[in-house]
Amino acid sequence: MVRFLTAGESHGPGLVALLEGLPAGIAISEAVIREDLARRQMGYGRGGRMQIETDYAVLQSGVRHGYTTGAPIAMLIENRDHTTGNGPDGKPWTHTMSKEPVEGDVTPIHRLRPGHADTPGISKYLQDDARNILERSSARESTSRVAVGAICRAFLSEFGVEVHSHVTNIGGVQAHPPEPVDWDVAEDSPVRCADPDASALMVREVDAAKEAGDSLGGVVEVVATGLPIGLGSHIQWDTKLSTRLMASVGSVNAVKGVEVGKGFELADLRGSKVHDVIKPIEEWERNGNGGWAKPWPRRTNNAGGLEGGMTTGEPLIIRAVVKPIATMISPLPSVDLTTGELAQAHYERSDITFVPTCGVIAEAMVLVTLADAFMEKFGGDHISETLRNYESYRATVGPRNGS
């Protein structure tokens, strides 16, 4: 099983990631992980924090001489803000976030922010300072996830799998990028949008929201190509790859909905307009080894690459709606934790929108989930064994007469 855990607080000394379950022999380096971490830091509408950090994951274990050994991979990512920046009351974060009791007061956060984890968190964990909740619930944690995703990307690239993302909506500005999406255009856009006109409008919308002291949500789409048919299973609710993907993408900070393929649009359509017709064998393509490039290809991909909880071999398309950031320059009315009386919600530096970043985080979650599905299906302790199993499976999936 490919699984990971993260630890760390937003303004503590650093973040931790622990990944296990990948085979030995995958080429990986801190520089490769850094590429995805840098993508996570970009995006128009981000606050001042991203100017402070240069997120870098230092490998602690599981990689030797440039290759995974099969052992758990641990990573440490420093929070630069912890040692260089000031927290509340102009005191250094080392003071505010000290593990040891400190001399003098640390002003607690009592004015709860609607939309963040503050209110249920302080109730459930019986905390008198919402900082003990928000430090962990901050999307800063997603740095660890993206580092883990980068390693899974290296693993999946051995099978020709690519995972990309783009922003299709910010604050109601809808993108209509040409098909297929040009990923370079998305990566070059300040809001990671592959439609240049919409990209410019989104930037304006972010500026307008900033001017109004408000925040914006939107929609991101993740696309995975090069997947074999038959990852996941129809057998149990929790073995379905659809379940696992929707849960993992749904776990991304601020995500309030996930759809696959045409998703909610399907409600308005008849079956004849929905289901992806299978092409006859005359239209199938061969790969370089004489096998089928993609067995059972479809005329359309409304299912977004998943049928019955399994991959169809068509591109996996998964979208997530991201709510507007809960911390706002013009805070909402709220209540004070000590008295329950009316108070303005707490404001600390924040982003106007986080949607472009969410695409990169959603990619990471898809990458881990797919890596898990690959290891479940093909196993192996060294990548060469996994690849052998993959190739022998691929040789069996065409028509039963073996042509």
Per the CB < 8 A criterion, the answer to whether 299 and 276 are in contact is: yes
Stretch that binds ligand EPS, among 139-147, 226-234, 303-311, 378-386 (CB under 6 A): 139-147
- Per CB under 6 A, does 93 bind ligand EPS? no
Per the CB < 8 A criterion, the answer to whether 324 and 216 are in contact is: yes
Strand partners, 257: 321
Looking at the Cβ atoms of 55 and 221, the one nearer to ligand EPS is 55
Q: Which of residues 305-334 bind ligand EPS (CB under 6 A)?
A: 325
- Taking CB under 6 A as the criterion, the residue among 68, 94, 96, 138 binding ligand EPS is 138
Size of the site for ligand EPS (CB under 6 A): 14
Residue 237: count of CB within 10 angstroms of its CB: 8
- Per CB under 6 A, does 92 bind ligand EPS? no
Residues contacting 87, CB < 8 A, separation 6+:
11, 93, 95, 96, 97
Residue 304: count of CB within 10 angstroms of its CB: 23
- Per CB under 6 A, does 140 bind ligand EPS? yes
Q: Which of residues 344-363 bind ligand EPS (CB under 6 A)?
A: 349-351, 354
What mask of x and - would describe binding to ligand EPS in positions 41 to 70, judged by CB under 6 A?
Answer: ------x-x---------------------
Looking at the Cβ atoms of 139 and 310, the one nearer to ligand EPS is 139
Looking at the Cβ atoms of 143 and 311, the one nearer to ligand EPS is 143
Looking at the Cβ atoms of 47 and 72, the one nearer to ligand EPS is 47
Stretch that binds ligand EPS, among 95-103, 289-297, 301-309, 343-351 (CB under 6 A): 343-351
Looking at the Cβ atoms of 10 and 302, the one nearer to ligand EPS is 10
Looking at the Cβ atoms of 138 and 334, the one nearer to ligand EPS is 138
Q: Specify the pairing of strand 162-170 against strand 306-307.
A: unpaired
**Residues in contact with ligand EPS by the rule CB under 6 A:** 10, 47, 49, 81, 138-140, 142-143, 325, 349-351, 354
